[in-house]
Amino acid sequence: MLYLADKKAKLFKGDYKPVSLYLGDKKVTGYEYAEQTGEILSFERTYNDSAYIKMYGKTVETGEGEKSPDNPYELKSVGDDGGFDLVSSWRNLIPPFTNDYTVTLQGVTMSVLKGGQSVRVDGEFTGSSPGGRISLRSVAGRIKLEGGVTYTFSAYHVGGTYSGMSAYLNKVSDNTFIASTNFKGTGVQITPSEDTECYIGVVLSVGAKCEDAEFVFQIERGVSTSPYTPFRGMQTVHIPYTLRGQGDVRDTIEYIGGNRWRHIQRWGRKVFDGTEILNASTASSNEEYFGVYTLFENTALAPLIRRGYCSHGGVWTIGALGWASVGSGFIYNLNPYHFLRLPRTIANNVDEFRAFLIAEHAAGTPWTVEYELAEPIITYFAAPAPQTYYPYTQIYTTATVQPTLEAKIRVWEGNY
């Protein structure tokens, strides 16, 4: 399809797919590339196409006060609770309703119109009900909202006449109220505390009148209300990996074409339970601290400055600070063996150190170390290409700890 406006043109191939037009070897119009980096990406002027995506891992420490063996922190990373989903979608997240859905209550009928994008309400409510109101529930209009994410819910009147009505969201599990809004596209913000499946409906007060009133609904991520647009699509690609990272050393997931993706792991993780082989260390022990050493395979070595995380204290290298400067925590070594240290008020020998590790693991606060790998581990896996949608695409993930997303997408040239 070719659309002309002045001397500019939007050029599409088939179902809004990208194509360029050349006169000889000179490009006249077509697509260009747009790039963005962030946790949530929004692109205008997109085609029905696929995107280049790269995701960078992140680890965060959560806790209060000074981190120590007596006050361990929790280490959380992208997808460490079973992986995460990469989502690409159109602005409006509400999928089409079931086309043949109809409900009638006390003289008022609500039905889903052809195509499933709008509902029609017709009738007059003059009867009695608890609170003097009735609710028409669209059991077909369901959507799952993510916990901790802010959405804007809006509704629009697009045909017929009405009075005494509003739109609402209720929780599917127990029919409890979530939010309501008028039909003027004003929008109301929602931030569920947990993942919540909800349904969409309309509420009529006593005396409400509807004559072939038609309404549409929109839920979008964020706090702004956009003009209504119908749902155009949504794709979810499950990423079955954890992405850790710090600074410029991060695990990555990258789409490389076809249905192929590449995972590069640059970080290792060790959770101690007390069954490990521990050896007393004279080098890392002194009057204040007792140290043990154990084997960490494929661990980056000192003396270079090494990043890392330790739930029960700091992370050090021999070359950076020396033995005298370190306290409790994890210490990089010059060989595959690395060191853990505790104050002598907690452990004076290997058996006491092991008992501490066992107790912390049993308490649900295991001594955990995340460390740079000496050599990255590269894995390839199959998953669908990340999709884009005409003419707007939003890309985000369902991870609790958000990765940094990097995307390169074809968009049509100009702002027309």
Share of the chain above pLDDT 90, in %: 53
- Please write down the HEC assignment for all residues of 121-162: EEEECCCCCHHHEEEEEEEEEEEEECCCCCEEEEEEEEEEEE
Q: Which CATH architecture has domain 102-231?
A: Sandwich (2.60)
Partners of residue 264 on adjacent β-strands: 252, 378
pLDDT in tens, 363-403: 999 999 999 999 999 999 999 999 999 889 999 998 989 99
Per-domain boundaries in the chain: 2-90+238-259+383-412, 102-231, 267-377
- Predicted pLDDT at 184: 92
Rounded mean pLDDT of 308-333?
79
Confidence band of 1 (pLDDT split at 50, 70, 90)? very low
98 has a pLDDT exceeding 60: yes
**First and final CA of the chain: distance in angstroms?**
16
On whether the CB atoms of residues 104 and 94 are closer than 8 A, the answer is no
Confidence band of 276 (pLDDT split at 50, 70, 90)? very high
Rounded mean pLDDT of 293-309?
86
Of 331, 314, 92, whose CA–CA distance to 221 is shortest?
Answer: 92
Confidence band of 138 (pLDDT split at 50, 70, 90)? low
pLDDT in tens, 147-181: 999 999 999 999 999 998 888 888 888 888 899 99
359 has a pLDDT exceeding 90: yes
183 has a pLDDT exceeding 90: yes
Scored b (16 or more CB within 10 A) or e, 45-84 reads: bbbbbbbbbbbbbbbeeeeeeebbbeebbebebbbbeeeb
